[in-house]
Each structure stands twice: as C-alpha cells, then as structure tokens.
Amino acid sequence: MKNTFFLLSLFCLTSFTGITQTCDKVLFTGRVIDSTSLQSFYNLMIVNRRTGQGVFGQPNGSFSIYVSNGDSISISVTGYYVINFKVDADADCQFRRKVYLNPRLRDIQEVVVRPIKTLEQIKEERENLAMRDTRLVTGIEVLQSPITALYQAFSKKEQNKRWIEKQTYKDNQRKIVQELLRLYVSYDIIDLSEDEFDQFISFLNVSETFLKTATEMELITFIQDKFAHFRIVGQLHTTDKPDWRTSMKSDPKRAINEMLKLYMSNKAIELPTSEIEHFIAYMNLDNDFLNSHSDADVFNLVYTKYTDFIAFYKIDIRLVDMNYNLTETDNEDWKWDLKHKGFKAATMSLVKMYNEHKVIQLDEEEYPKFITFLNLKESFLNSASQEELIQFVREKYFKYLDFYRKK
C-alpha cells in the first residue's frame, strides 16, 4: 500500500513538472515533402527569423536545429513557396513537423541567364582576393634609387597605374559579392530584384577582411541582417520628408519621439513603452547631426545605439507592447467582480481573461501561485489604464517564468 501511494505521488509530481516546465532550448526536427514528385532537396534551408540564423537541410529533406519555444521559423526551398510557422514545444522540449511543400507556378518571362557559381567557387575567389603589388620605393630603397622614387611620387603615369589597380581590386571585390548575392537569391535566403543589386551592394559596404575570412554562416547572417535593414530603410523613404524632419526646427524633442515611433511602427526597433524616454536620453542625439545627415545615416546611428542599449541594460524584448485586441467588453467580468465580489475574485478573473487572450500563458493550476507572485494592488487595479495593466502583468509574468524556470 505504501509503495502504491509513493508511486502515485511520484507520477503526479512528474506530471505536474512536465506540464509547467519551460524549455530553454527546443530540438526542432522535421522533413520536407513534395507530394507531387519524388526528388532530392539540395537547396533546403531552415531560417530562425528571431535570430536571423539558419541551417541547410539534408538532400532527403530532413533537418534538425536547436531553437527557442515560440520562435518564428521559415523553411525555404527553391521552386516552392516559403513555409512560415511558430515553434510549439512538447513536454520533452521537442518540436517535430512534416512540411508539405507547395510548388511555385510562374509565368515564364524573358530573362538573362547567368551561370550561378557554387559556394566552393565563391569561397575560393574570396580567399584569393588580393590587390596586385604596386608599391612605391620607400625606406633605404629611396637612397639606392632616388630617381625612381621621385618618378613614382610625381609621375602621373605611375599615379594612374596605382589608381587603376585600386579600382580593379574594388571591381573584383564587388563582383564576388554580386555572385554571392545571386546564389543567396537562388536559395531564397534573400529576396532581391535585379535592379536592386548595385544599391544593396553599396549598402552592404562589406569589409575586405570579413569577405575573405568569414564562414558561410557568418556571411549569411551578416547579409540577412543587412538586407532586413535595407528593406526597412526603403520603407522609411516612402515619403519624401518624414514628419519628424518637419518638427526638427520648432521642437527637436518631439521630432525625436516621432522618429522613434516611425522606426517602431516599421518594426525597425522594438522597445517597451516604459523604456522609450530612457532610450532617448541614452542616445543623446545631436541636433546638428540629425539636420545634416540623410535618413539612412540617422537610422544606422539609431540602430547601433539601440543594439548597445539593449545589451547594456539587458532590456527584455518580450515586454514590447502587443495588440491583443482587448475591448471594454472583455474587461467587464473582472470589473463586475471587483465591484460585487471583491479584489481577490477580480484578480482571478483578470488573470483568466489575460490567459484566454494570450497576454500570458499559464496552466490553470498555476493561477494561485502566479497571483501571489503578481502582488497586484487594488489601488493600481482601479487607477491603471488597460495598457499600463497589461504591461505590468506581462512584466511580472516573464519574471515569474524566469524565477520558476526549471534549470
């Protein structure tokens, strides 16, 4: 009898732990399938949109990658539509999925066909990238050959020769980047039109050292990140003169707030509302810089400051405001309970309602423990706006998860 009771208790404890555990890492495994034909997938790529990183799958269509629960994943295979979904881990911190591909049907148009080089060919070109030596006579060589040194220093012919070598080197570097981008476009890693190549290569401004020494995954991550910024800057240029530019002369502080709202509405940066004023003070933007530089230059500076700010202050991006489409009708239950049943009943109704609308995600058994951890005050519940209440509960929710997370 005692053994039976012990086993039953152990089972209950194990079941509860399995339900409430939070996965630090999730093993995502799966396979892509084309139900219309049997073929190999040599261009299968799985991209984690949250981190910007990706891995190539196997020719048989199988793949595996470590991700975080809730990450947005894109599966890309040339010739098929991109598949997007979110990771939803099981009790074993695994996520398994079969992905049925949908072939793209395209109208055939007249195109200029260019042979696409392989990764190995491009890698070899990157490693061999070098500028032919056209060095000047220097040091002790000047004493040994002063006439040659003077000729090289002042001769237009020699200066032109060095200029030509430099331009040839830049052209070679640009061609290598162009071939790399063509390959990434063919693999659906980035979506770049033919007309955008030159503009994007200039925007990349990739350094010679990085181009020669970076790994394939470092290059993919770098170019994907830059491409996301390239698209954002393009969206920000849809108006000839953003509203914040107009406000700069009369109210610079208001202009900076409008600029941040523009970036946040375009998902260029993500900040909780409570951190916006703190971030503005951290940036310490110079009005002369804002007035004298282009929108792209301003965005690049703000984004650099943003990444430093997030890292230095360890800002939790999970607290970024989200639209949960909550209406006054949704709030009626807890407000009625507050008036007729009391504060404790109202708090329970509020937590249940937020759980239904995905403001938080908890098992029902955890409600009492979370409410204790929440430590919500009745005065705040009465006075807070809906946005302030959501932000408070979400902040406590993530602290609750971090505090009780199973290591």
Query: Measured between alpha carbons, how far is 379 from 375 in angstroms, rounded to an integer?
Result: 12
Query: Measured between alpha carbons, how far is 195 from 399 in angstroms, rounded to an integer?
Result: 48
302-305, long-range: CB within 8 Å, 24+ apart, which pairs? 302/259, 302/260, 302/263, 302/269, 303/229, 303/268, 303/269, 305/279
Do 138 and 209 belong to one domain?
A: yes
Do 86 and 126 belong to one domain?
A: no
Q: Which helix (H) or strand (E) holds 27?
A: strand 26-33
Give me the domain span that covers residue 207. Answer: 119-235
pLDDT at 30 over 70: yes
Q: Over pLDDT 70: what percentage of the chain?
A: 71
Do 343 and 257 belong to one domain?
A: no
**Residue 380: predicted pLDDT:** 92
Residue 326 lies inside a defined structural domain of this protein? no
CB atoms within 10 A of CB 5: 9
Query: Measured between alpha carbons, how far is 143 from 168 in angstroms, rounded to an integer?
Result: 31
Do 288 and 214 belong to one domain?
A: no
Q: Using CB atoms within 10 A of its CB, is residue 115 exposed (0-12), middle (13-18) or buried (19+)?
A: exposed
Task: Tell me the backbone φ, ψ of residue 215, rounded to 5 degrees.
Answer: -75, 170
Do 228 and 248 belong to one domain?
A: no
Residue 327 lies inside a defined structural domain of this protein? no
Domain boundary among 262, 292, 319: 319
Do 125 and 224 belong to one domain?
A: yes
Q: Which of 164-178, 325-339, 363-377 has the lowest mean pLDDT?
A: 164-178
Rounded to a whole number of angstroms, the CA Rg of the chain reads 29
Do 229 and 124 belong to one domain?
A: yes
Higher-confidence position of 322 and 109: 322
Q: Which of 15-29, 67-81, 123-137, 312-326 has the lowest mean pLDDT?
A: 123-137
CB atoms within 10 A of CB 169: 15
Query: Measured between alpha carbons, how far is 191 from 182 in angstroms, rounded to an integer?
Result: 10
pLDDT at 132 over 50: no
**Residue 283: predicted pLDDT:** 92
Residue 255 lies inside a defined structural domain of this protein? yes
Higher-confidence position of 244 and 162: 244
Domain boundary among 210, 235, 260: 235
Whether the Cβ atoms of residue 186 and residue 132 lie closer than 8 Å to each other: no
pLDDT at 189 over 50: yes
**Residue 337: predicted pLDDT:** 92
Provide the pLDDT confidence category of residue 375 given band limits of 50, 70 and 90: very high
**Residue 270: predicted pLDDT:** 79
Token pair of 262, please? 């523009």
Strand 83-86 relative to strand 26-33, pairing: unpaired
Which three-class secondary structure state does DSSP give residue 151? helix
Residue 112 lies inside a defined structural domain of this protein? no
Task: Tell me the backbone φ, ψ of residue 80, rounded to 5 degrees.
Answer: -130, 160
| Closest of 82, 50, 49, 44 to residue 64, by C-alpha | 44
Q: What is the CATH number of the domain that holds 63?
A: 2.60.40.10
Do 156 and 183 belong to one domain?
A: yes
Higher-confidence position of 158 and 341: 341
Alpha carbons within 13 A on the beta-carbon side of 59: 3
**Residue 239: predicted pLDDT:** 46
Residue 168 lies inside a defined structural domain of this protein? yes
Residue 153 lies inside a defined structural domain of this protein? yes
pLDDT at 277 over 50: yes
Residue 106 lies inside a defined structural domain of this protein? no
Do 353 and 304 belong to one domain?
A: no
Q: Tell me what the mean pLDDT of segment 4-16 comes to.
A: 48
Domain boundary among 214, 235, 256: 235
Q: Each residue of 165-177: pLDDT tens digit?
A: 666 667 777 888 8
Which three-class secondary structure state does DSSP give residue 372? helix
Q: Quick one: how far is CA 13 from the chain centroid?
A: 38
Do 211 and 260 belong to one domain?
A: no
Helix pair 119-127, 156-186: axis angle to 10 deg: 160
pLDDT at 240 over 70: no
**Residue 371: predicted pLDDT:** 92
Do 132 and 202 belong to one domain?
A: yes
Query: Measured between alpha carbons, how far is 285 from 253 in angstroms, rounded to an integer?
Result: 10
pLDDT at 370 over 80: yes
CB neighbour list of residue 97: distance below 8 Å, 6 or more residues apart: 28, 29, 30, 85
Which three-class secondary structure state does DSSP give residue 361? coil
**Residue 306: predicted pLDDT:** 84
Q: Each residue of 289-327: pLDDT tens digit?
A: 898 888 777 887 888 888 788 878 777 766 666 667 788
Residue 111 lies inside a defined structural domain of this protein? no
Q: Over pLDDT 90: what percentage of the chain?
A: 13
**Residue 342: predicted pLDDT:** 93
Provide the pLDDT confidence category of residue 353 given band limits of 50, 70 and 90: very high
pLDDT at 363 over 80: yes
DSSP 63-123: EEEEE-TT-EEEEEETTBPPEEEE----TTSEEEEEEE--B-----------PPPPHHHHH
Query: Measured between alpha carbons, how far is 349 from 246 in angstroms, rounded to an integer?
Result: 46
**Residue 196: predicted pLDDT:** 81
Question: What's the pTM value of the predicted model, to 2 decimals?
Answer: 0.39
Whether the Cβ atoms of residue 202 and residue 221 lie closer than 8 Å to each other: no
Overall domain count for the chain: 4
Do 190 and 125 belong to one domain?
A: yes
The mean pLDDT of the chain is: 75
Which three-class secondary structure state does DSSP give residue 204? helix
Which three-class secondary structure state does DSSP give residue 4? helix
Token pair of 88, please? 């939803």
